[in-house]
């Protein structure tokens, strides 16, 4: 496993336990309401206790969450981390009641449990004690390791606590530049999905604060919710970026889109802007320009750091439980210091970002979505059940998946063979970006639909239906069969399928199969797949009369075996365009009675041989071998 792959997995694991923190923030905010007026005088106390207990047991939550996140929710790893925390806290508290069980300790035990599971999950012991082998060995191993770790920490823990407090003082002494550096690095690490690692250090480790109950909490985030009047400097500056800067970018992209594409782009990016403003989920907007203008992303990262520096210098302190969106802003405003200043700062930031990005997109002709050859960012929640099997094909099928998890905005994959990944197909299917970290570790950014996509992909894997997957037979644009200017094809009298408008004069095989027939003029041919599907490829409309070597040249013969992407026919694109009714090239299944269901990718530009443009599920066979 590569170093970057390890960091990616660890970053995803750190995100899992943070899911519970919004509940603590909501409980704390609700505890401020006047419950006495509705006859519930104890409700404020109950809500405050519910919030406090989440932060009290935060080290345990992080230990279990990290262990589960690193192992794909392996229960033995989660149990091992929990047992490890009990052993650690029991030994250290009995030896020295002043030793606090911190989130850092929870993270260490969680990481150790996850690594132990990956190391010992396939452990084979002698047959008479094999019951304790494999995953069952992990809790036993971590019990011993936690015992030794706790004994070692009895003397070291006080020094560690002093170190964390000293680091907090050091970061405070670094002033605004330290806050700027944090903001800049965090935005850069968003690209690789590793921003949780650097955020975790500042939000949950550095700086200590003793609560009224005598407990010491560490990190900017727990200190903020515990009432530390100095906490919040590493969170406040993120609010203007997420609530105002990213939505401004979204509006700039909308206004610079072509007029014919503006309705679709407006819908997509209004949703992305709203997600960033309300919840602080920024990747759908950031990835819209990251790959087409990385230098502009660097400018964005620098500006994000400067914004944090400004909020620091103005003495603004604010915090969040999930991310710096409007929901968290309103929920936690009662704990903030000068939090109201975030709003006027945000307005200035939005004007700056909107002006800068509109100018840059137009000046440097950046192909953002909605412009020529723009990057893809689709809004397609209703199509997820249909596109998930195509996404599965684009990543190489279920046999290529070693591990698949999802976080808020991206699928995190470990692939057996990274080379079979079809990035063009994934972009066509709605991915805002594909990040390859090496060692088979890949992130596919689908925005907030990532978890739904993962669930549908798992359903497709579990169903294991017999299906045939189609690649694009040419470079150009895929169109619905109904748009072909020929009533025979558009009426689906020949068969059902899709069509393509070619940009180049090459036809390649969309499937594995055998050439059944090649027409004398070589403008059309038929392929039979191993499953028995008969696929007709017909280059252009009214092209059967274009005879001669100057039009079509077949590169295969009848009876030849073909595979996806293999060249079938070369044709003279310009001559055929002039002398035919249309270049529309139908790809139809002429025996559609074999098909149970059809799935199509979005009708847009495709590359030659691109996977996942269409798939069909075949009808089940009866006992006699015939299709039902």
DSSP letter string over 435-482?
EEEETTEEEEE-GGGHHHHHHHHHHHHHH---EEEE--SSSEEEEEGG
Between CA 290 and CA 109 the distance in angstroms is 36
219 neighbors 107 (Cβ within 8 angstroms): no
- How far, in Å, are 472, 518, 568, 571, 608 from residue 502 at the CA level? 11, 20, 14, 11, 9
332 neighbors 318 (Cβ within 8 angstroms): yes
- How far, in Å, are 367, 420, 437, 509, 612 from residue 423 at the CA level? 18, 9, 14, 19, 11
Between CA 337 and CA 230 the distance in angstroms is 9
Between CA 202 and CA 319 the distance in angstroms is 12
The rounded radius of gyration (Å) of the Cα atoms in the chain is 29
Residue 66, phi then psi, degrees to nearest 5: -65, -40
Between CA 561 and CA 514 the distance in angstroms is 5
Between CA 447 and CA 381 the distance in angstroms is 11
368 neighbors 359 (Cβ within 8 angstroms): no
Local structure of 118: helix, strand or coil: helix
Between CA 242 and CA 307 the distance in angstroms is 11
Burial group, residue 568, by CB count within 10 angstroms (0-12, 13-18, 19+): buried
H or E, element range at 152: helix 137-190
Nearest-CA neighbor of 345 among 322, 321, 361, 329? Answer: 329
**Tokens 């091992």 found at:** 80
**Tokens 């100095």 found at:** 230
- How far, in Å, are 215, 218, 542 from residue 56 at the CA level? 9, 11, 75
Catalytic pick from 407, 478, 484, 511?
407
Between CA 400 and CA 420 the distance in angstroms is 9
Q: Which residues contact 112 (CB under 8 A, 6 or more apart)?
A: 84, 142, 145
Nearest-CA neighbor of 113 among 59, 67, 64? Answer: 67
**Tokens 């009808």 found at:** 619
500 neighbors 585 (Cβ within 8 angstroms): yes
Between CA 248 and CA 279 the distance in angstroms is 15
**What letter does residue 471 receive in the DSSP assignment?**
-
Helices assigned H by DSSP within 314-341: 326-332
Q: Is 176 a catalytic residue?
A: no
312 neighbors 299 (Cβ within 8 angstroms): no
- How far, in Å, are 116, 190, 247 from residue 357 at the CA level? 47, 20, 11
Local structure of 338: helix, strand or coil: coil
Between CA 544 and CA 538 the distance in angstroms is 9
- Helix, strand, coil percentages, rounded to 5, for the chain: 55, 15, 30
**Which residues are 569's β-sheet partners?**
507, 554
Between CA 401 and CA 549 the distance in angstroms is 46
Residues acting as catalytic residues: 407
């Amino acid at each position: 496993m590569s170093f970057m792959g390890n960091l990616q997995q660890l970053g995803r694991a750190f995100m899992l336990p943070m899911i519970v923190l919004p509940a603590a923030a909501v409980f704390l905010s609700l505890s401020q309401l006047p419950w006495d007026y509705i006859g519930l005088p104890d409700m404020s106390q109950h809500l405050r206790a519910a919030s406090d207990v989440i932060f009290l047991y935060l080290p345990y939550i992080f230990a279990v969450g990290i262990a589960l996140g690193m192992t794909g929710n392996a229960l033995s790893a989660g149990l091992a981390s929990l047992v490890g925390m009990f052993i650690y806290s029991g030994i250290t508290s009995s030896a020295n009641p002043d030793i606090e069980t911190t989130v850092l300790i929870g993270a260490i035990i969680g990481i150790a449990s996850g690594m132990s599971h990956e190391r010992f999950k396939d452990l084979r012991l002698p047959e008479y004690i094999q019951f304790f082998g494999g995953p069952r060995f992990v809790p036993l191993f971590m019990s011993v390791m936690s015992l030794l770790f706790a004994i070692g920490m009895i003397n070291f823990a006080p020094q560690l606590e002093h170190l964390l407090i000293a680091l907090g003082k050091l970061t405070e002494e670094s002033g605004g530049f330290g806050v700027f550096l944090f903001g800049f690095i965090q935005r850069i690490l968003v690209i690789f999905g590793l921003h949780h690692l650097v955020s975790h250090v500042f939000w949950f480790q550095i700086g200590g604060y003793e609560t009224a109950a005598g407990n010491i909490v560490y990190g900017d985030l727990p200190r903020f919710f515990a009432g530390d009047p100095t906490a919040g400097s590493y969170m406040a500056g993120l609010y203007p970026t997420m609530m105002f800067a990213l939505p401004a970018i979204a509006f700039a992209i909308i206004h610079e889109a072509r007029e014919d594409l503006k309705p679709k782009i407006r819908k997509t990016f209004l949703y992305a802007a709203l997600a960033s403003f309300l919840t602080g989920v920024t990747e759908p907007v950031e990835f819209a320009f990251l790959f087409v203008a990385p230098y502009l992303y660097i400018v964005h990262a620098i500006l994000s750091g400067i914004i944090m520096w400004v909020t620091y210098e103005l003495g603004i302190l604010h915090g969040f439980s999930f991310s710096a969106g409007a929901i968290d802003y309103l929920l936690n405003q009662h704990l903030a210091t000068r939090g109201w200043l975030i709003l006027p700062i945000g307005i200035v930031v939005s004007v700056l970002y909107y002006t800068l990005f509109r100018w840059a997109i137009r000046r440097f002709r950046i192909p953002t979505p909605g412009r020529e050859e723009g990057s893809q960012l689709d809004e397609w929640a209703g199509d997820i059940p249909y596109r998930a099997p195509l996404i599965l094909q684009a990543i190489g099928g279920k046999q290529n998946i070693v591990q698949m998890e999802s976080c808020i905005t991206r699928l995190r994959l470990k692939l057996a063979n990274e080379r079979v990944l079809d990035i063009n197909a994934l972009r066509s299917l709605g991915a805002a970006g594909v990040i390859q970290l090496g060692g088979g570790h890949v992130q596919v950014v689908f925005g907030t639909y990532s978890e739904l996509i993962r669930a549908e992909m798992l359903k497709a894997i579990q169903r294991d239906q017999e299906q045939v997957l189609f690649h694009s037979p040419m470079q150009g644009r895929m169109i619905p069969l109904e748009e072909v200017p020929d009533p025979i094809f558009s009426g689906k009298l020949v068969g059902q399928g899709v069509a393509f408008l070619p940009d180049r004069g090459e036809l390649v095989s969309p499937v594995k199969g055998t050439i059944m027939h090649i027409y004398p003029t070589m403008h059309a041919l038929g392929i039979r797949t191993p499953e028995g599907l008969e696929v007709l490829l017909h280059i252009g409309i009214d092209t059967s009369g274009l005879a001669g070597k100057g039009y079509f040249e077949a590169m295969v013969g009848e009876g030849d075996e073909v595979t996806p992407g293999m060249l079938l026919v070369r044709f003279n694109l310009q001559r055929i365009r002039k002398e035919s009714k249309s270049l529309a090239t139908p790809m139809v299944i002429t025996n559609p009675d074999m098909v149970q269901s059809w799935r199509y990718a979005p009708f847009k530009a495709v590359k030659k041989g691109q996977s996942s443009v269409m798939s069909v599920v075949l009808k089940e066979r009866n006992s006699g071998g015939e299709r039902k």
